[in-house]
Amino acid sequence: MKKEEIIKLLNEDITGEIEAILIYMRNSFVTENCPPSRKMEEVAKDEMRHTEWLAELIVDLGGVPSMEHKPLNFGREGAEGFLKRLIGLEEGAIAQYKDHISQIPNEEIKKKLQHILEEEEEHLKGFKEHLERLKK
């Protein structure tokens, strides 16, 4: 796989991370101060760190990090609607990271993506737990 192709995949990951940051931060601000809103903000900060790591990988490959995002869909209003949207974003990120890990031959990059994947799986678990608590 050529460096340009790896850079393209990593920029796709940055696009997803930026989308998540914007949605998670906005939703944390408009959700009343409760455990789910604090979790949204905490995870947004993790996603910022992921963006930094991805950008560093891209620059190391000689590329330029993209700072684009998809149109923002914040989910249905209220903590439950927001959490359902965040769960969907995490599930999408997990699938994308698994796909990119399988495609990229560079072991150093795979290792970093695997670390991000594990954090995304933790985020998914946390959002699902908060959603279950809200339904009780």
Per-residue pLDDT of 59-108, as tens digits, reads: 999 999 999 988 999 988 888 999 999 999 999 999 999 999 999 999 99
Q: What pTM value is reported for the model?
A: 0.92
In degrees to the nearest 10, what's the CA dihedral of 100, 101, 104, 109?
Answer: 110
The whole-angstrom separation of Cα 124 and Cα 45 is 15
Q: Which domains does the chain have, with CATH numbers?
A: 3-135 (1.20.1260.10)
> 33, exposed or middle or buried, with CB in 10 Å at 0-12, 13-18, 19+?
exposed
Query: Over the stretch 4-52, which tens digit does the pLDDT of each residue have?
Result: 999 999 999 999 999 999 999 999 988 887 788 888 999 999 999 999 9
- The whole-number pLDDT of residue 78 equals 85
The whole-angstrom separation of Cα 95 and Cα 88 is 11
The whole-angstrom separation of Cα 60 and Cα 135 is 45
Query: Over the stretch 101-112, which tens digit does the pLDDT of each residue have?
Result: 999 999 999 999
